[in-house]
Amino acid sequence: MSEELFKEMAQSIIDGDSDISTELAKKSIELNIHPLEAITKGFVVGVTYIGDQFGLGEAFLPELVMAGEAMKSAIAVLEPELLKLGEAREMMGKVVLATVEGDIHEIGKTLVGTMLSASGFEVVDLGVDQSADKIIGKALEINADIIGMSALLTTTMVRQREVIEELDKEGLRPRIKVMVGGAPITQDWVKKIKADGYSEDAIGAVKIAKELVGKE
Amino acid sequence: MTSKNIKTISDPKLKLEVLTKEDVQKIHNATLQIIEKVGVRFPSKRALEIWEANGAEVDHEKKIVRVKPQIIEDALKKAPPAYKLAARDPQQDLYLDGNHVNLGTDGCGVEVIDIHTGVKRTSCLQDVRDIARVADATEEVAFHWVSVSAQDTPVEARGLHELKAVWENSTKHVQTESVYNVEEAKAAIEMAAAIVGGKDKLRERPILSLMQCTAPPLGHDGGSLDAALLAAEAGIPTGFMTMAACATTGPITMAGDLAVGNAEVIAGTALLQLAFPGAPVFYAAAQTASDLRNGSYTGGGPEDFLFGAATNILADFYNIPLSMGSFATGAKEPNWQAGLEGSLSTFMASIVMSDMLLGCGFLHGSRIWSFAEMMMDCEIFSIIHKMMQGIEVNDETLALDTIAAVGPGSHYLGQKHTRKHMRELFMPQFMDRRPYSEWETKKDDARDWAVTKARKILKEHQPDPLDEKMSLELDRIIKSVEK
Ligand code: B1M
């Protein structure tokens, strides 16, 4: 009986259907299935499948993004149940993500967020044009492991350095690690501003993030 | 009308209809519906006030504006259909009149393939100077976009250092996309006014124009809006460029993507006309499809080429000039992909007579400047320039007398008619038509010849310099912005 349900759960993620994944999550609660079991044996299987297909070049970004959304919807239903049981999902780590102040380029940052979420990170995406204060404030509020900053302009990449300097001033590193990226960012720049990690694309960003939280 | 030492495409003999009249009307109607019902984001206090004063519905919290079609349509009618882009040398003024395709360099790159070492490195002020100088000498380049970022100058005045560098090294028109806040825009206008002899003169002779990006989907950037308003107020040609890309910042389908981009551009353009009726404005676009595997902005591929041909039809519908992204490529070095994407995008944008083409010289999705790529892009433009002249059919070109004189057999090499017309054939600079053995011993190709040509220009070409006193005056203005 639950085997069937787990299959449907995985399929709802593969189909990127948030309505169905929400419904199935609710159904699993009614059937007294342990929420962790629903997540790991059901929904995660779908995410892993799409992730693998994406890696093989068989699935495309919209499928990945929609799988992520469907997963989020299911988790939103199951998480409160987990808390009631005094348990929590095991996450890779917490990431605060933003495009820096003065910069409105969004897509690259969003993709990095999608990939990180799909790989088991808890991601708070603040959006674009975010000041150092807001980024650091959020990181402290949620006790983040990583701050991720995107900058696409040569005039705004300096903001990445400002955040790092501020973190250093407050003695918040190495507790909080800093990962950067964006069109003008190079290895040289990363060294210069002493960031902890850099990647040229979203897949690479996941690998770096895992290294930064010691899970690779 | 021609501009001195500048090759522009005019009096085209080729035609292409990618969108029918009905198609355009449908896109226009969809656009008006989007602006009225969904709205467009204008995160600028000044812009929102202008909209409110003109009867738009303004959501101040979300900064979203919803506008009745009539307001948009009436505003757009105030835009001048044709005007000139002035140059420091008046003989190099450019015509935006629907009958000239003017090529510009690409702009705002972050790295450069060093012209001497061939090694890729961070762009700097000297690169801006060098590129401007080579472009000044090249007849294909009609105007400059500020080519790369002067990353060795202070952030807050970088766009100004770049402008000065171009003016000091070329007499051609300059368009910048690197000035996107009020402070720099003010100073840039002041600099341009200083060169032509005052603000009133600048209205008559705008040697500077400004391009701002919209923020797709359905938005604008605050700094860009304020800069654009200042420029329009000063009578400087100003355009909004949409980059709405299928799948990420726009609908996956091309028609929907056109409608979204169109809504951003015409809403922005209407704003400028409401604020400053009759201000010279242009439509700008670099729409494309996103790569489905990594989300990258492809700037190439069949969708890109079709957008290139479709957009001028929209701009014509609104009766304003167009600046169209072309020559974009994701290629990492000048190669098959770069040649293919450059040729097709530029052909499609030219055949519909886009007024401005942006631009030659870049690799890797508008990030890396290459002099070789620039020179080869220029040759592509020249080939298209030749193609656009079509085939002339008359007694002289049918050459019946000469055909009779040669008769069956023999050859045409010794004919006066041949000699008379031989220079009308296109002579490539960078195409390899040599014997195989010659190539085998040298193993060189277009890329080597193109770089060599750029090096020669850089060594020999002396542009008409800016007066020294004027340079000092520009320095003074720049200093006033630096912290
Ligand atoms: C935390 O850890 C990490 C790790 C990895 C990370 C990471 C963080 N962040 C990114 N990565 C990495 O992983 C991602 C996924 O693979 C990748 O992200 P990317 O963002 O690189 O890739 C995306 C998936 C797709 N790529 C993109 O979306 C960017 C493509 C290009 C063409 C581009 C676009 C599309 C846009 N632009 Co703009 N834009 C350009 C870009 C040129 C280019 N090829 O990069 C660039 C960056 N833009 C530029 C400019 C100048 C501007 N743009 C502007 C605006 C825009 C649009 C809004 C129109 C649009 C963005 C739409 C949106 N909603 O996001 C303006 C900026 C306004 C502002 N205040 O921010 C404006 C200033 C133009 C103007 N005058 O209005 C240039 C900057 C040059 C410079 N010297 O600084 C530019 C290089 C193009 C050019 N040559 O003109 C990696 O970089």
- Look at residue B123 and tell me if it is in a domain: yes
- Look at residue B53 and tell me if it is in a domain: no
Whether the pLDDT of residue B132 is over 90: the answer is yes
Q: Go through chain A and tell me how many residues it has.
A: 216
Whether the pLDDT of residue A27 is over 80: the answer is yes
Domains of chain A are: 2-84 (1.10.1240.10), 93-212 (3.40.50.280)
- Look at residue B206 and tell me if it is in a domain: yes
- Look at residue B93 and tell me if it is in a domain: yes
For chain B, the distance separating the N- and C-terminal CA atoms, rounded to the nearest angstrom, is 45
How high is the mean pLDDT of chain B?
A: 97
**Per-residue pLDDT averaged across B456-477, rounded?**
97
3-state secondary structure of A94: strand
Interatomic CA distance for residues B279 and B267, integer angstroms: 15
Give the residue from chain B lying closest to A108, CA to CA: B295
Based on the domain organization, do B213 and B349 belong to the same domain? yes
Residue with the smallest CA separation from ligand 1 atom 83 is A153
**Predicted local distance difference test score (pLDDT) of residue A55:** 87
**Predicted local distance difference test score (pLDDT) of residue A1:** 62
Based on the domain organization, do B380 and B404 belong to the same domain? no
Digit-coded pLDDT (tens) for A95-105: 999 999 999 99
Based on the domain organization, do B382 and B401 belong to the same domain? no
Could you report the predicted ipTM of this complex, rounded to two decimals?
0.92
Interatomic CA distance for residues B46 and B76, integer angstroms: 19
Digit-coded pLDDT (tens) for B241-293: 999 999 999 999 999 999 999 999 999 999 999 999 999 999 999 999 999 99
Based on the domain organization, do B312 and B408 belong to the same domain? no
Q: Give me Rg for the CA atoms of chain B.
A: 23
Residue with the smallest CA separation from ligand 1 atom 13 is A201
Based on the domain organization, do B190 and B313 belong to the same domain? yes
Based on the domain organization, do B228 and B331 belong to the same domain? yes
Chain A contact for B249, CB < 8 A? yes
- Look at residue B49 and tell me if it is in a domain: no
Q: Which residues 214-243 of B are in CB contact (within 8 Å) with A? A: 215, 221, 223
Question: Helix, strand, coil: what percent of chain B each, to 5?
Answer: 45, 15, 35
**Among B151, B223, B365, whose Cβ lies nearest the Cβ of A154?**
B151
- Contact (Cβ atoms closer than 8 angstroms) between residue B380 and residue B342: yes
Interatomic CA distance for residues B467 and A162, integer angstroms: 40
Distance from CA of A210 to the nearest CA of B (A): 20
Q: Do B294 and A57 touch (CB under 8 A)?
A: no
Chain A contact for B248, CB < 8 A? yes
Digit-coded pLDDT (tens) for A28-72: 999 999 999 999 999 999 999 998 999 899 999 999 999 999 999
Give the residue from chain B lying closest to A111, CA to CA: B295
Interatomic CA distance for residues B113 and B364, integer angstroms: 12
Based on the domain organization, do B383 and B406 belong to the same domain? no
Q: Which of A105, A155, A185 has the most B C-beta neighbours within 10 Å, making it the best mutation to test the interface with B?
A: A155
Based on the domain organization, do B305 and B406 belong to the same domain? no
- Look at residue B381 and tell me if it is in a domain: yes
Q: Report how many domains make up chain B.
A: 2
- Look at residue B460 and tell me if it is in a domain: no
Based on the domain organization, do B404 and B368 belong to the same domain? no
Based on the domain organization, do B264 and B368 belong to the same domain? yes
Distance from CA of A183 to the nearest CA of B (A): 8
Question: Taking CB atoms and an 8 Å cutoff, what residues of chain B touch A57?
Answer: 293
**Per-residue pLDDT averaged across B150-157, rounded?**
96
Chain A contact for B293, CB < 8 A? yes
Digit-coded pLDDT (tens) for B419-434: 999 999 999 999 999 9
- Joined together, the tokens standing for residue A10 give 């995985």
Confidence of residue B298 (pLDDT cuts 50, 70, 90): confident
Residues 6+ apart with CB under 8 A from B408: none
- The predicted model scores a pTM of 0.95
- Look at residue B55 and tell me if it is in a domain: no
Based on the domain organization, do B359 and B295 belong to the same domain? yes
Q: Write the single-letter amino acid at A31.
A: L
Distance from CA of A5 to the nearest CA of B (A): 31
The domain of B401 spans: 395-424
Residue B90 belongs to domain with CATH number: 3.20.20.480
**Predicted local distance difference test score (pLDDT) of residue B2:** 83
Based on the domain organization, do B214 and B305 belong to the same domain? yes
Nearest one of B210, B345, B359 to B288, comparing CA atoms: B345
Q: Do A104 and B294 touch (CB under 8 A)?
A: no
Ligand 1 neighbours by CB, cut-off 6 Å:
A 102-109, 111-112, 148-150, 152-155, 179-184, 199-202, 205; B 107-110, 149, 177, 180, 212-213, 215-216, 221, 223-224, 243, 249, 294-297, 365-367
Interatomic CA distance for residues A21 and A28, integer angstroms: 11
Residues 6+ apart with CB under 8 A from A128: A98, A99, A103, A104, A105, A106, A109
Counting ligand 1 atoms within 8 A of each CB, the residue from B243, B291, B367 with the most, and so the one to mutate, is B243
How high is the mean pLDDT of chain A?
A: 95
Residues paired with A98 in a beta bridge:
A149
Whether the pLDDT of residue B37 is over 90: the answer is yes
Q: Which of B248, B288, B291, B363 has the most A C-beta neighbours within 10 Å, making it the best mutation to test the interface with A?
A: B248
**Predicted local distance difference test score (pLDDT) of residue A118:** 86
Phi, psi of B273 (to 5 degrees): -70, -35
Whether the pLDDT of residue A110 is over 90: the answer is yes
**Per-residue pLDDT averaged across A4-10, rounded?**
96
Quickly list DSSP for A73-88: HHHHHHHHHHHHTT--
Chain A contact for B92, CB < 8 A? no
Counting ligand 1 atoms within 8 A of each CB, the residue from A61, A95, A97, A105 with the most, and so the one to mutate, is A105
Q: Do B155 and A155 touch (CB under 8 A)?
A: yes
Q: Do B221 and A104 touch (CB under 8 A)?
A: yes
Chain A contact for B99, CB < 8 A? no
